[in-house]
Chain A
Amino acid sequence: MSVGLLLLIVIAVAALGYGLGRRRALASVQGDLRRLHSLPGYYGQSVFILTAAPALLVMLAWLLIQPLVIENHVISTIAPGSIADGSSTSLVLSDVRRMAGGLDALVARSSLSEGDIAALDANSTDVRGRLAEVGVALASDVDPAVFETAKAYRLILRTALLIMTTVVVAVTLAGLFFSLSRIRPDYRARNVSERAVIALLIASSFVAVMTTVGIVCSLVFETWHFFRLYSPEGFFFSTVWNPQFRGGSDLGIWPLVWGTLYVSFIALLVSVPIGLLAAIYLAEYASKTVRAVVKPAIEILAGIPTIVYGLFALITVGPFLRDYFAAPLGIGSSSSSVMTAGLVMGIMLIPFVSSLSDDIINAVPQSMRDGSFGLGATQSETVKQVILPAALPGIVGAILLAASRAIGETMIVVLGAGAAAKLSLNPFEAMTTITVKIVSQLTGDTEFGSPETLVAFALGLTLFVFTLALNVVALYVVRKYREQYE
């Protein structure tokens, strides 16, 4: 019996419970609804909840704890001698797991019966060949002791599943009878059902918190791993980035930080003036018709996926800058450059800056404009000397948010900035960023335990801390500013 089927059974029993509970509630008052505390449906719901929820919780807990317990047991049975040189307990364990899966597949294809499996012996039969038939490829020949462990592991799993099924079904039925027995006319069924719904709602809002916890834990944990293999001084104080597959890499973060900041700086240099001026024009000058056309058009820019901007950088902007600026001036020969990525990222950020600034400028009270006009100021003087100073904190917040976007942006720099880690001032040279290196270190065929791969997590943590700090400051500034005029 599989876990999915068990789940279906629990839900089916609970659904049955809904009908029974509703019926029982109606029967308890001979169909006279007025004497019930809640509507009959709530009695059904209360039965459903009390039947399904405990059973599902037991199942969940079981599925979480079972692997830990069983694997501990299996590890204790693996003889230290059967762990080959260069291997580790976890590798042997994963072999055991895959062998057990392969045996299951053999049984499923009915080429073997349970008895045959028990009789299989790694010394006499070609276990590796048999397992390869069902798509389980093992690296080396099978150690008989490990194979015996795999067989035992499989049996334990089967027993555990059987026990779990029994326990879950028992809990389901117990819940069903218990909740049915509680149904009386004055039973507060609606309160039970509503409390359960509230619990569900709280659990859902918890997902967002769990995501953050997950992000922080995975980053911190793997970064800690990284720093056990690679010295923190080498990471934080070195200006050389030169990963090698055979070890002995230099993994200094500074060239990457420099590339990231340089690209982001150019992007802000493009997007902030354009976005801000566009927002001012739309908010203060544009007629209704212009606004109705331009505003959605700018928002289209915001809806375009970043991979499209990346391709734009790669096939249009990059070659254009190289052929008309960098090559004639003799300052660069590569189509991917800081300038390419920065320009395109700037275009991407225009709508971001403009829509945020637009909101902020619109939030400046009309009375301030009227006061300024009343004193004889022109429109541009009003904008420059009254509205912008009043909106400044909000605009700074918007720029910080845009900066955090720029720092975390990936696809544009992957396709537009290049892959060479360099500390250079020339914007027409290819440089690389933190995000590019995260992608390249984690998408290659590298071994997961090596510092060259794990460095991606340290880079990720750096990126997360950077952007988080910017966001927190920006959100604080924006919120503070909003309160000022509300």
Chain B
Amino acid sequence: MTFATPRQVFSLFEADVRTRNRNAAERRFRLYGVIAITISMLALALLLFTVLDNGLGAFRQTFIEIKVPLDPARLDPSGTRDVEAMKKVTTIGYGKVIQAGLVATLAEAGIATDDSSVRDVFNLISKEAPAQLRNRVLANPDLIGTTIDFRAFASGRVDGYFKGRVSMASAELDSNISPAQLAIADEMKAKGLMGLHFNWDFILGPDASELRPEAAGLGVAIIGSAYMMLIVLVLSLPLGVAASIYLEEFAPTNRWTDLIEVNIANLAAVPSIVFGILGLAIFINFAGLPQSAPIVGGLVLTLMTLPTIIISTRASLKSVPPSIRDAALGVGASKMQTIFHHVLPLAMPGILTGTIIGLAQALGETAPLLLIGMVAFVRDFPASPPEGFFDPASALPVQVYNFTQRADPAFVERASGAIIVLLVFLLVMNAVAIILRRRFERRW
């Protein structure tokens, strides 16, 4: 404001230039804020949209319905229905049975096939199908001699065709599929022999090799993740609560406890991959625990989760008002009794909320698990605990990473589908945490 213009007239109804500028600046600033928030919301929406758009397809899979006559001469040459003897028949033998069934099924449906197209049609079926049929027959030898309805995976390319990933034009250039095969697939779909169905094997089945994206599932990864979460919960909750009680209620203020506090604050910010290095060097190389085992993953994630749990537990212990402690001490309880009988139960909802959020973080952690060998390709389900903790397993986020490293574009869909499963688990955990907080947390 200058004093050189004494005759300037101020009007309350008409803003002068300077006021208008200031108001414009105000509006601009507000707009920046709105833009920033819009960008973050858009990013969130785009992220979720990408994952859902790419991944929902993974839950539905193209299946081929075939009536397969289980020829005893081929599948059980000894005729004894002895499982050990039947194991000698390899998947190639089962492939021939499926092919025979396929020809018959197609003939019945009135789809013309000659010798060359039979091979083509057979290639529409996943390479995994003979193994599936073999497992089914070995599990129930009485099926031999009957004709069963067999629902086989269609190959990855056929599945991609029905999901829009593969087109006639791209099939022209593809050595794995030809337009003629896709035409047959269309015809089979029209006759109801082929169609998209919900695919439980994606959630429950084991991983499959690089060439069979249609059969790849998350079963082993889900079990591995569940085992690790169990270990993390069992170890980190008691350890974290005990450490917090000591630091919050008993620790004298001296250099030593100061060191522990700084240490915990720093541990919470150490990059996760460093914990992976720790796991590799200490648990695997030094202590000799097996690679890719849930026990190692669980231990590493426990150490990572511990600071989170300690920080939230201390906050909820702190929020219990001193009057509770005073009252308990006043009627003659010892300090230990006060804490374990009164303070801790009142702090429990907050502690559990913090624990669940820590677990959710641990569930999504990938980098440290890569270093302790969880990237290995694991097809066998781990045994039940406790032995299963030492068996090789995968983990959900690592499985996502594994899928992204494979060449076939069908695995992009699988990876996104796996993320949906992961996000559903996280959503459930966080919902539980919120419900716990809403229902049980007291405001003093």
Q: Which residues of A contact B (CB under 8 A)?
A: 190, 194, 197-198, 200-205, 207-209, 211-212, 214-215, 218-219, 221-222, 273-278, 280-282, 285, 294, 297-298, 300-301, 303-312, 314-316, 347, 350-351, 354, 378-381, 383-384, 401, 404-405, 407-411, 414-415, 435, 438-439, 442-443, 448, 456-457, 460, 463-464, 467-468, 471-472, 475
Query: Do residues B246 and A204 form an inter-chain contact, with CB atoms below 8 A?
Result: yes
Q: A438–B372 Cα gap in the complex (Å)?
A: 12
Contacts A297-B44, A301-B44, A435-B367 given; indicate if A468 touches B30 (C-beta within 8 A): no
Q: A301–B29 Cα gap in the complex (Å)?
A: 24
Query: Do residues A415 and B260 form an inter-chain contact, with CB atoms below 8 A?
Result: no
Contacts A207-B306, A208-B243, A305-B364 given; indicate if A215 touches B278 (C-beta within 8 A): yes
What 5 pairs between A and B have smallest CB-CB spacing?
A: A408-B271, A305-B364, A281-B33, A218-B281, A204-B242
Residues from chain A with Cβ under 8 Å of B50 in the complex: 312, 315-316
Residues from chain B with Cβ under 8 Å of A464 in the complex: 270-271, 274
Q: A274–B34 Cα gap in the complex (Å)?
A: 10
Residues from chain A with Cβ under 8 Å of B310 in the complex: 208
Q: A468–B267 Cα gap in the complex (Å)?
A: 9
CB contact list, B179-238 vs A, under 8 A? 238
The residue on A at minimum CB distance from B236 is A207
Query: Do residues B33 and A285 form an inter-chain contact, with CB atoms below 8 A?
Result: yes
- 15 A-B pairs, CB-CB below 8 angstroms? A198-B336, A205-B242, A208-B243, A209-B263, A277-B32, A305-B364, A305-B366, A306-B364, A308-B419, A311-B416, A378-B23, A409-B271, A414-B401, A442-B371, A463-B274
Contacts A205-B260, A281-B33, A408-B272 given; indicate if A218 touches B278 (C-beta within 8 A): yes
Whether, in the assembled complex, B167 has its beta carbon less than 8 Å from a beta carbon of chain A, the answer is: no
Whether, in the assembled complex, B375 has its beta carbon less than 8 Å from a beta carbon of chain A, the answer is: yes
Whether, in the assembled complex, B247 has its beta carbon less than 8 Å from a beta carbon of chain A, the answer is: yes
Query: Do residues A308 and B51 form an inter-chain contact, with CB atoms below 8 A?
Result: yes
Size class of the contact patch on chain B: 35 or more
Query: Do residues B404 and A311 form an inter-chain contact, with CB atoms below 8 A?
Result: yes
Q: A379–B27 Cα gap in the complex (Å)?
A: 10
Q: Chain A interface secondary structure, helix, strand, loop or mixed?
A: helix
Q: A409–B272 Cα gap in the complex (Å)?
A: 8
Q: A222–B286 Cα gap in the complex (Å)?
A: 12
Question: Which of the 9-residue segments B67-75, B150-158, B170-178, B422-430 touches chain A?
Answer: B422-430
Highest count of chain B CB atoms <10 Å: which of A277, A294, A404, A405: A277
Residues from chain B with Cβ under 8 Å of A301 in the complex: 40, 43-44, 47
Q: How far is the CB of B310 from chain A (nearest CB, A)?
A: 7
Q: How far is the CB of B155 from chain A (nearest CB, A)?
A: 22
The residue on A at minimum CB distance from B386 is A4
Residues from chain B with Cβ under 8 Å of A314 in the complex: 404
Contact among B43, B246, B365, B367 with A347 in the assembled complex (CB-CB below 8 Å): B43
Contact among B22, B30, B276, B365 with A305 in the assembled complex (CB-CB below 8 Å): B365
Contacts A305-B364, A463-B271 given; indicate if A439 touches B370 (C-beta within 8 A): yes
Q: A281–B28 Cα gap in the complex (Å)?
A: 12
Q: How far is the CB of A202 from chain B (nearest CB, A)?
A: 6
Q: How far is the CB of A134 from chain B (nearest CB, A)?
A: 16
Query: Do residues B278 and A209 form an inter-chain contact, with CB atoms below 8 A?
Result: no
9 extra interchain contacts, Cβ-Cβ under 8 A, other than A207-B303, A380-B26?
A: A205-B242, A215-B278, A306-B364, A312-B47, A312-B50, A354-B40, A442-B371, A443-B373, A464-B274
Query: Do residues B278 and A207 form an inter-chain contact, with CB atoms below 8 A?
Result: no
Q: How far is the CB of A389 from chain B (nearest CB, A)?
A: 16
Query: Do residues B419 and A211 form an inter-chain contact, with CB atoms below 8 A?
Result: no
Residues from chain A with Cβ under 8 Å of B245 in the complex: 201
Highest count of chain A CB atoms <10 Å: which of B240, B247, B278, B423: B278
Whether, in the assembled complex, B285 has its beta carbon less than 8 Å from a beta carbon of chain A, the answer is: yes
Query: Do residues A201 and B243 form an inter-chain contact, with CB atoms below 8 A?
Result: yes
Query: Do residues B269 and A307 form an inter-chain contact, with CB atoms below 8 A?
Result: no
Residues from chain A with Cβ under 8 Å of B334 in the complex: 190, 194
Query: Do residues B277 and A438 form an inter-chain contact, with CB atoms below 8 A?
Result: yes
Residues from chain A with Cβ under 8 Å of B285 in the complex: 448
Contact among A214, A298, A311 with B51 in the assembled complex (CB-CB below 8 Å): A311
Residues from chain A with Cβ under 8 Å of B41 in the complex: 294, 297
Q: How far is the CB of A261 from chain B (nearest CB, A)?
A: 15
Contacts A315-B54, A464-B270, A472-B266 given; indicate if A411 touches B366 (C-beta within 8 A): yes
Highest count of chain A CB atoms <10 Å: which of B36, B251, B412: B36
Q: How far is the CB of B133 from chain A (nearest CB, A)?
A: 29
Q: A472–B269 Cα gap in the complex (Å)?
A: 10
Whether, in the assembled complex, B324 has its beta carbon less than 8 Å from a beta carbon of chain A, the answer is: no
Query: Do residues A274 and B39 form an inter-chain contact, with CB atoms below 8 A?
Result: yes
Q: A197–B375 Cα gap in the complex (Å)?
A: 41
Query: Do residues B239 and A308 form an inter-chain contact, with CB atoms below 8 A?
Result: no
Contact among A281, A315, A408, A410 with B366 in the assembled complex (CB-CB below 8 Å): A410
Q: A280–B43 Cα gap in the complex (Å)?
A: 19
Query: Do residues B336 and A215 form an inter-chain contact, with CB atoms below 8 A?
Result: no
Query: Do residues B267 and A306 form an inter-chain contact, with CB atoms below 8 A?
Result: no
Q: How far is the CB of B227 from chain A (nearest CB, A)?
A: 18
Residues from chain B with Cβ under 8 Å of A278 in the complex: 33, 36-37, 40
Q: How far is the CB of A53 from chain B (nearest CB, A)?
A: 16
Q: How far is the CB of B247 from chain A (nearest CB, A)?
A: 6
Whether, in the assembled complex, B10 has its beta carbon less than 8 Å from a beta carbon of chain A, the answer is: no
Contacts A205-B260, A212-B267 given; indicate if A298 touches B416 (C-beta within 8 A): no
The residue on B at minimum CB distance from A351 is B40
Whether, in the assembled complex, B298 has its beta carbon less than 8 Å from a beta carbon of chain A, the answer is: no
Query: Do residues A439 and B367 form an inter-chain contact, with CB atoms below 8 A?
Result: yes
Query: Do residues A222 and B281 form an inter-chain contact, with CB atoms below 8 A?
Result: yes
Residues from chain B with Cβ under 8 Å of A460 in the complex: 273-274, 277
Query: Do residues B278 and A214 form an inter-chain contact, with CB atoms below 8 A?
Result: yes
Residues from chain A with Cβ under 8 Å of B36 in the complex: 273-278, 281
Proximity bits, B103-129, A CB within 8 Å = 1, else 0: 000000000000000000000000000
Contact among B43, B247, B365 with A205 in the assembled complex (CB-CB below 8 Å): B247
Highest count of chain B CB atoms <10 Å: which of A200, A211, A310, A443: A211
Contacts A305-B397, A460-B273, A464-B270 given; indicate if A208 touches B371 (C-beta within 8 A): no
Q: A277–B35 Cα gap in the complex (Å)?
A: 9
